[in-house]
Amino acid sequence: MSKVDDISTAFEALGNTLKSVAKVLLQSRRCDVGAEARPENDSIIIMGNGPSLSDTIATYGDVLRTHTTLAVNYAANAEEFFDLKPRYYVMVDPAFFDPNPGENLKRLRETFAKRVDWPMTIFVPAVNRGSFDLQGNPNVTVRTINSVGLEGFGWFERMAYGRRWGTPRPRNVLIPSIMVAIWLGFKKIYLVGADHSWMRTLEVNEQNEVVSVQPHFYKDNESARKWNAAIFKTVRLHEVVHSYYVAFKAYFSIKKFADSKNVMIYNSTPGSFIDAFPRKSLADLPVG
């Protein structure tokens, strides 16, 4: 790398740090996520909603039921949710806190409020806590995080993430979910259902509209498909590709932070596009 490149990189890091400091001051709030008492080498399995999760459940269902798990987004609308009984749940997209919820969101909220009959903690952004009411389900605890996207110099990122001011830019829910697992004190984190293989489905049709299928392990209903299509009608290909760049880059920021905390993150998703973490099968985890 030339001196010009070094100077350019330094100025970019400085600019990102200054922007992130402003975001902390304006957007970060006091949150209540923190390390919990647990065995030193306790592990957690984070379940993304990618299509491979179906095969993982079929093959390693006993492992998922034995170990602590974390689910995300609309997983609670799938019947498998009630079999796996995740201990933790993460939602950060503003759509989940819409005061005028659609069919899928109403169903999700009803599940949390009435059907969860095991201890479960839901993590939501601190800025959205006031708009998230579970109608008093004693089995569900709601805790808060800062999902503010922060980046900059390495020392700043380590400090900001360590103090829970924010996360690497949260272009998808898996990014803050991994951070939650680290903040909770887990030293071994396994990722399943983290396919991130969106580029295989990316197209541009004859009307110059970006088309991208976003498959999940559960079957999306017509409402979800229309919602996804509406989002992609409003964006251009370069914006979509840049969003992918931001997401995959964020995993390397997480890797650096995890290394500083002696946390191991393993990608246990067959065919995953995430290249930041070493691969390791769930077959290596004990049952019972």
Instruction: Kindly state whether residue 137 falls inside one of the protein's structural domains.
Output: yes
Instruction: Kindly state whether residue 216 falls inside one of the protein's structural domains.
Output: yes
Q: For residue 269, give Cα distances in angstroms to 5, 76, 126, 274.
A: 36, 20, 30, 9
Higher pLDDT, 5 or 204: 204
> How is residue 127 written in tokens?
């800025």
At residue 233, φ and ψ (nearest 5 deg) are -70, -20
- Domain range for 60: 3-274
Angle at 280 between CA 44 and CA 253, to 5 degrees: 70
Instruction: Kindly state whether residue 250 falls inside one of the protein's structural domains.
Output: yes
pLDDT computed for residue 202 by the predictor: 87
Please state, for a pLDDT cut of 90, what percent of the chain lies above it: 73
Cβ neighbours of residue 100 closer than 8 Å, sequence gap 6 or more: none
Instruction: Kindly state whether residue 283 falls inside one of the protein's structural domains.
Output: no
Dihedral sign of CA atoms 95, 172, 287, 140 in order: negative
Please state, for a pLDDT cut of 70, what percent of the chain lies above it: 92
Cβ neighbours of residue 111 closer than 8 Å, sequence gap 6 or more: 76, 77, 81
pLDDT computed for residue 142 by the predictor: 93
Q: Which amino acid is at 285?
A: L
SS3 percent helix, strand, coil of the chain, rounded to 5, is 45, 15, 40
Instruction: Kindly state whether residue 286 falls inside one of the protein's structural domains.
Output: no
- Measured CA to CA, the distance from residue 157 to residue 167 in angstroms comes to 9
Cβ atoms 248, 273 nearer than 8 A: yes
Tell me the pLDDT tens digit for each residue of 198-217.
Answer: 888 888 989 898 887 777 76
Instruction: Kindly state whether residue 79 falls inside one of the protein's structural domains.
Output: yes
Tell me the pLDDT tens digit for each residue of 148-177.
Answer: 999 999 999 999 999 999 999 999 999 999
The DSSP H or E segment spanning 9 is helix 3-27
**Tell me, what CATH number does 21's domain have?**
3.90.1480
Instruction: Kindly state whether residue 19 falls inside one of the protein's structural domains.
Output: yes
Instruction: Kindly state whether residue 280 falls inside one of the protein's structural domains.
Output: no
Which stretches of the chain are assigned E, i.e. beta strand? Answer: 43-47, 68-72, 88-90, 120-125, 140-145, 188-192, 203-204, 210-211, 264-267
Is a pLDDT exceeding 70 seen at residue 222?
A: no
Give the count of domains, the chain.
Answer: 1
Is a pLDDT exceeding 60 seen at residue 1?
A: no
